[in-house]
Amino acid sequence: MNHQLENKRALITGGGRGIGAAITMRLAHEGVHVALTYVSKPDQANQTVKEAQALGVRAIAIQADSADAGAVVAAVEQTVGELGGIDILVNNAGVAVMAPIDDYRLEDFDRTMAVNLRAVFLATQAAVRHMQTGGRVITIGSCNAERMPFAGGAVYAMSKAGLVGLVKGLARDLGPRGITVNNIQPGPIDTDLNPADSDFAELMRNQMALPRYGSADEVAAMVAYLVGPEAGFITGASLTIDGGFTA
């Protein structure tokens, strides 16, 4: 722990597993009190909370579907109520439904936009009402905002590209209040939903400058830097961590 983030309070959406859990644990290691949201798999979310609590910080799990506007706002308010405020918001929750445009269902389109874009707007709007100077908002986007190398990913790519514009605009809105807003764009990362030992992973590695998948901890390290005081002059940026996938 470097103590620069000690006793800050953070909400990580989708923080119970994968990249979200890695972010939750990295912030807890830095002394940040953490709240996370999850939709399903409460056992995984509660295990992440227990591991964070073992580091000496307060930690809570909140069941909230990011497709539900009311649940998103309520999760922010519960975080503020139980942790005493909010200094850091990490909009990590996301969905990816891949299908050719001819077959793409409207309900999948609507859910993708609700989770990947609308929830980010809603959570940020709710959180910044409670943030002071030095507040940090992070979105977890995707390198697919810049490069979609296979068919079926148009809607997902659009939702992540939308974050780029949203973050730029929010940075302008919130800069005068001393709150920074940044977008992290991971490439292929080894998670249970996208394992590094799959046939698909081999296809991805062939398109990368570094022929390996990244780790969730590497993404979490970038988050930890951006929410810290040394990154206070970075805002409105989309920072790619993709092993050269978009190079």
Neighbours of 209 (CB within 10 A): 10
User: Which amino acid appears at position 143 of this protein?
Assistant: C
Order of strands across the sheet that contains 238-241:
59-63, 33-38, 9-12, 88-91, 136-140, 180-186, 238-241
Q: What is d(CA 218, CA 245) in angstroms, rounded to the nearest whole number?
A: 15
Active-site residue among 38, 104, 156, 213?
156
Neighbours of 167 (CB within 10 A): 25
Q: What is d(CA 113, CA 9) in angstroms, rounded to the nearest whole number?
A: 27
CA angle 186, 226, 237 (to 5 degrees): 65
- Asked whether the beta carbons of 75 and 64 are under 8 A apart, the reply is yes
Roughly how many angstroms between the first and final C-alpha of the chain, as a whole number? 33
Residue 138 is classified by DSSP as E
Catalytic residue flag (residue 156): yes
The residues carrying an active-site annotation are: 156
